[in-house]
Each structure stands twice: as C-alpha cells, then as structure tokens.
Amino acid sequence: MAQFRVLLVDDYESQYLFINDLLLLIGEGKFQLEWVSTYRQGLKALLNEHYDLGLVDYHLGDASGVNLIKEAHAAGCRIPLILLTGSGSFEIDLEAMEAGAADYLDKTTLKPAALERAIRYTIEHARTLEALRESEERYRDLFENSNDLIQSIDGEGRFLYVNQAWLTVLGYSTDEVEQLSIFDIVHPHRLPHFMNTLEQVRTGEVRIIETTFVTRHQTYIEVEGNINSKVQNGQVVSMRGIFRDVTARKQAQAAEREQRAFAEALLDITTALNSTYDFDEVLSRILTNMGTVIPHDTANIMLIEAGRVWVVGEDVTLSTAPRMVDESYLAVADTDFISQMYKSRQPMLISHAAAGSLNPIFTEPVFFSYVGVPVILDGEVIGFLNLGSHLSGFFTDIHAQRLQAFADHAAIAIRNARAYEHVQEMAASAERQRLARDLHDAVSQTLFSASLIAEALPRLWQKHPEEVWNGLGQLSRLTKGALAEMRTLLLELRPHALVEASFRTLLEHLTTAFASRSSAQIFLEINGERELPPIVQISLYRIAQEALNNIHKHARAAQVQVQLQNFADGVELRVLDDGCGFDPYQIPPDHLGVRIMRERALEIEAQLSITSQPGNGTQIAVLWHERKD
C-alpha cells in the first residue's frame, strides 16, 4: 500500500514517465503517482484532496503552473504544492513562493534522493502545519464558545484579542475594543490594585485576581480569574486573562451579609428591650442599628403628641436633644407625606424629592431621597421613623420593609417605657404613702408625747419638783428619738445617702430611732471597720431595719441587741431580742418581713439564718463574704 499519494500536473507524458521512474528508484510502494495533463483537470483533481502532495509543472501549454497554484489555494486547496521548473530562474522561484508553493524543484537536475527529501519534508511539514492549524481552530473555538471572559493584552495593556463572551458581557464591538486598553474598563477604585497585580504578572507569576469591570453602558460587573504572561527575550509580549462574571454570586453574598446584619441588628434591639426599660437607650440602639443595616445620611424618630410631631431621637451624628420639628408648631396634617403615612399606615418612599421639600422632617437642607414608616401601637399611629439621603433614587422597597421592622421594635420600646413609667409612678406613690405612715407612726407620735411632757413640766415644777428631772430625761429621749426618726426618713428620701454614709452611722440612726418609740432597751455593738459595696450596705441596712420593725410590732421584748462584726473578707450582722419569739415555719402569709429579709440576703449572696421559738426570743443573723474572682 502506497505511503504517499502524489498528483503530477504536466502536459508532457515524458515528464510523467521521468518522475515515475525516479519514484520507483526511491523504492517501490513508497509513492503512488497519478497524472493529469491539463490545467482544468489538475485544478479539479487538487480540489478533491485525495492526495498528499501535488507536483505542478511551470508550463501547462498556454497556461502557467503558478496561476494553477494560486487558483487552487484560492479555491480552498489544503494539500502542499511543489512547482517544477526547468530554468532555475530566481524570479520564477520567488514567483512560486509568492503564489503559495510549498517548494520548487529544477527538473533538469532532479535526482531521486533530492526528490524524496523534498516530497517527504513538504508532506510532513504540511501535516504539522495542518495539525497546528486544527489545534488552533479547536482552541479558538473553545475560547469563542466559552462563557468565560477571555482577553489578551500586550505589554502596554492594549487588547490583542477578546472572545465573544467578553464582547457580549461588556457590550463593546470589535472596532471599539481596538481603541481601548485594559485600564479603560477597570473600575477607577480598583485600578491601583489591578495595576499592582499586572506588575507581578510581568515577573512571570500567575496571579489570581478579583476586580470590577466597567461596561460600555457604565454598569459594573464583578469578575474573578487569573492572569499570566508570555515572555520572549526578557520582554513581556502579551498577558492573557481568563475571567468569570461573578456579579450574581457577589450580589447573593452581599444580600446574605445584609440579611445577617439585619437579623443581628434586630437581635441587639430585642436584647436591649429585654435588658432595659430606658426609653432613650433603646431609641439610641435602634438608631445605631438602623445605620448598620440601611445606609443613610440622616435619621430620626418622631412621636405624635397632641396632634403635633416631635423628634425624640436623631442620628448620633446629629444633635440628640429632644426638640419639636423646626422648633415651631407642626401638625401631622401640615406635611403631605406624613399625613398620608398617618392615614394609610403604610411606608412612604420618595426617590426624587425637590430641593428643600424634606426640610420639615430634617434639619439639613439638601436631602433628595426619603423613606419613612409609621410606628403603630395598639392599632394607633403614634410616630414615625424617617431616613434621608443626599442621593436621588437611593432607597428601595427592601429598605422600607426593613425599616418597618425597626418601627415595630420602637413601638415595643414605647410600650415598655410607658408601662415602666407607670410602675415607677405607682412605686413612688406607694413610697410616699409609706413615708407618710412612718412619719405619723413614729415622728408625729413621738413629738406629740414630747409636747405633752413639755406642757406638764411647769405644773410638776410647782407641785412635785423632784419629778421634773425624770420628765426632762424622758423629754430628751423623745426629742433625740424624733430627730433620729427624721434623719432616717431623710435617708429614705435620698437613697444615695444610704451609700454615702458609713454603715456604723446607719445602724446608729436605726437603733436611736428604735429607742425613741419602744420601751425596750437597745444596745449597739460594732467590732472593726470596713467599707462595704453599695448594694451590700443597702441590703444589710434594710434587713436590720425590717428586723427592728418586727421586734417593735410583735416581739414585746425588754432588751434588744444589734451586733456587727467586720472581717477582712466580710461581715456578720446579728439582731437579737428576748421577746415572745415565734415558729419560723408558721409565719402567716400576710407577714412579709421575713420574706423581704430573705430576698435582700439572696440579692447579695449572703447567708441568712432565723432562730426563734415561742417564748424564747429571736436571733436573726446575716453572714456575707466578699467574692474572690
């Protein structure tokens, strides 16, 4: 079977016989030679491409072999063609090469070995080129049909090649790309980092990069990919980049981050609602968290009072002092979009506000985008959350939805604050009533007794002067007791005084006041000195106060002792009486004194013990140790 198939186009049969004899001398079976004698037969045969090589004579009657080679190539002939000449003319040889001939041979000097070398080299070279061409076409087809953005630039950044996906995504035409450089399509903010990456690529490194491309329509796409360089003689001749459009993925990731931040912000506000009833603190947390979730240039929280709108909280970058909008009267009905939100109970979005139209809401003069939502409590609109931006068209429906969630939390904060304020008012009222009772039960009665004694002393002086000294002693004791009671009540009116005074002074006030209103003898014993934490001092004071109140009301004691022992790491307080005693396990439900003392001890993690039996008096002991953290 022939290894190579060769076509000879020559108008002389003798030439065919000569070439055939040469091929036979080379080796029978190595070549299979076919012959056609005319120009047209040769063109038709060459276009069939059943051959590995074509030999074309320079003279084809009145036609030229050079023209045949030109026409064959123009018609799509892919096999290599060798021109056979008989003159050895340099001009003919040059003409043959310009026509696309793979080689040229002088028939007059042709030898078998030379013919074989020429044929083999030409065919193998042609096959190599064809393989490269097919490979290039495959790669080009791969690039052209790839969804990736593929580009090649020279050392100066000018485009050498871009694929169809690149053109489609970025929106440029092929002609426009010829006028661009890579630096024209990279976002200005990302350009310094991109140029630094190219400098690293010039050294031969393959770099992974993320950047932003600007399309022909001035939109932005996020891309990531790699860049490598081709270097010849130490010079970068080209840099190829393969990028993938990751805009959708980046947007999804950004949306996920925003949603996570939104959830965390709501959690933070919920934590604030559960940890404090301070209205201003909760509003501050709401404003701060709104800034992390919804970008804006200004924000405020308004409440409606008597038909007017008041700002109760503003963005931390602005003044936070409560004030009425524009420091003058502004009814809800005076502003169209506020009135519309009030009636519809739906968010309001203004994308392109006229200059100054938002001034009734914000103190700053130039805001062109607005989003606001109503704050609804128990079915009633009680206020609004408002955001403003310097940019037109900035806010979206998603911003409005998220802002409404903050408004719902603001409503809860307002409900809690109002409830807490009501509880505080009730507690204050109850405290005032208690103080009034104490003032009546203690000070008023003591002063009344002292007044009676003072009126009786002049009469005693006339009739029984020896008893005056006893009366004066009793009067002194009563006035001192009244003074102690008043000091105690003043401490109750100024709670911080319970911390400012020493614990010794507080116990002295309590025992002196007790002595003024009780016939029992009371003794105060204090060993050592130490400063107590405020909460510990207040709790121990309340326990001692409650213990003495219970003794005065129930014990019928003749003698009472209050003992305070200070240690390096704690204190022990004891209150003892020799009264009627009681069963600690049979305390009536309406007697709250013991329960109050237990709660106070639990608050400071102290040990409270109550020892008592009917007829054998009572001992109350509290032991507190300082924690070693």
Q: Looking at residue 269, what is its pLDDT?
A: 65
Supply the DSSP symbol for 318: S
Residue 590: what pLDDT? 55
* Residue 158: per-residue pLDDT: 92
Q: What is the pLDDT of residue 528?
A: 92
User: What pLDDT, on the 0 to 100 scale, is given for residue 623?
Assistant: 95
Among the listed ranges 19-28, 66-75, 273-282, 332-341, which one has the minimum average pLDDT value? 273-282
For the beta carbon of residue 412, count every other beta carbon within 10 angstroms. Answer: 14
Residues 589-595 have a mean pLDDT of: 67
Q: H-helix or E-strand containing 536?
A: helix 534-550
Q: Please give the pLDDT value at position 294.
A: 82
Query: Looking at residue 434, what is its pLDDT?
Result: 58
* More confident site: 578 or 103: 578
Q: What average pLDDT does the chain have?
A: 80
Task: Kindly tell me the burial class for residue 135, based on how many C-beta atoms sit within 10 Å of its own C-beta (0-12, 13-18, 19 or more).
Answer: exposed
Measure the CA–CA gap between 52 and 44, rounded to whole angstroms. Answer: 15
pLDDT surpassing 80 at residue 484: no
Q: According to the model, what pLDDT value does residue 324 have?
A: 42
Identify the band that residue 432 occupies on the pLDDT scale cut at 50, 70 and 90.
low
3-state secondary structure 32-100: EEEEECCHHHHHHHHHHCCCCEEEEECEECCEEHHHHHHHHHHCCCCCCEEEEECCCCHHHHHHHHHHC
Summarize the confidence of residues 391-396 as an average pLDDT: 85
Q: Which of the residue ranges 168-172, 414-418, 511-515 has the most confident prediction, judged by mean pLDDT? A: 168-172
Q: Say yes or no to pLDDT of 325 above 60.
A: no
Give the pLDDT mean for 455-467: 71
Q: Does position 427 have pLDDT exceeding 80, yes or no?
A: no
Highest averaged pLDDT of the listed ranges 166-180, 266-280, 389-403, 455-469: 166-180
Condensed to tens digits (0 to 9), the pLDDT of residues 42-53 reads: 899 888 868 888
pLDDT at residue 31, rounded to an integer: 83
Q: What is the structure's pLDDT at 327?
A: 46
Q: What is the DSSP string of 553-620?
A: III--SEEEEEEEE-SSEEEEEEEE-S----TT---TT--HHHHHHHHHHHTT-EEEEEE-TTS-EEE
Question: Which pLDDT tens digit goes with each residue over 135-154?
Answer: 666 666 656 677 888 888 88
Classify residue 276 by burial, with Cβ atoms within 10 Å: 0-12, 13-18, 19+. middle
Cβ pair 400, 346 in contact under 8 A: no
Over residues 188-194, the mean pLDDT reads 89
Give the span between the Cα atoms of 261 and 406, in whole angstroms.
Answer: 13
Residue matched to tokens 């070995």: 113
Work out the pLDDT band at 559, boundaries 50, 70, 90.
Answer: very high
Q: pLDDT value at position 328?
A: 46
pLDDT reported for residue 88:
64
Lowest mean pLDDT among 33-47, 139-153, 542-556, 597-611: 139-153
Do 595 and 614 meet the contact criterion of CB atoms below 8 Å apart?
A: no
Pairing verdict, β 369-377 and 380-389: antiparallel
Cβ atoms of residues 555 and 522 within 8 Å: no
Examine the pLDDT at 542 and tell me if it is beyond 90: no
pLDDT of residue 428: 60
- Tens digit of pLDDT for each residue in 78-114? 888 888 887 667 777 788 888 888 888 888 887 888 7
Please say if the pLDDT value at position 277 is more than 80.
Answer: no
Residue 491 pLDDT: 60
- At residue 323, the pLDDT reads 44
Most confident of 8-12, 136-140, 495-499, 524-528: 524-528
Q: Which residues of 529-549 are buried (b: 16+ CB within 10 A; e: fewer)?
A: eeebeeebbbbbbbbbbbbbe
Q: How many CB atoms lie within 10 A of CB 214?
A: 16
Burial tier of 610 (Cβ tally within 10 Å: 0-12, 13-18, 19+): middle
pLDDT category, 497, cuts 50, 70, 90?
Answer: low
The residue type of 486 is M
Residue 280 binned pLDDT confidence (cut-offs 50, 70, 90): confident
Ordered domains of the chain (ranges, CATH): 4-142 (3.40.50.2300), 146-245 (3.30.450.20), 257-493 (3.30.450.40), 500-625 (3.30.565.10)
Checking if the pLDDT of 326 tops 60, the result is no
Say if strands 81-85 and 53-57 run parallel, antiparallel, or are unpaired.
parallel
Lowest mean pLDDT among 215-219, 465-469, 526-530, 557-561: 465-469
Neighbours of 51 (CB within 10 A): 22
Spatial neighbors of 586 by CB under 8 A, at least 6 apart, are none
**pLDDT reading at 226 higher than 50:** yes
Q: Is 123 exposed, middle or buried (0-12, 13-18, 19+ CB in 10 A)?
A: buried
Residue 318: the pLDDT is 44
What's the CA gap between 112 and 23, in Å, rounded?
Answer: 7
| Cα four-point dihedral sign 450, 451, 454, 456 | negative
DSSP structure string for 438-503: HIIIIIIHHHHHHHHHHHHHHHHHHH-GGGHHHHHHHHHHHHHHHHHHHHHHHHHHSTTHHHHS-H
pLDDT of residue 445: 60
pLDDT of residue 442: 56
Residue 544: pLDDT band by 50, 70, 90 thresholds?
A: very high
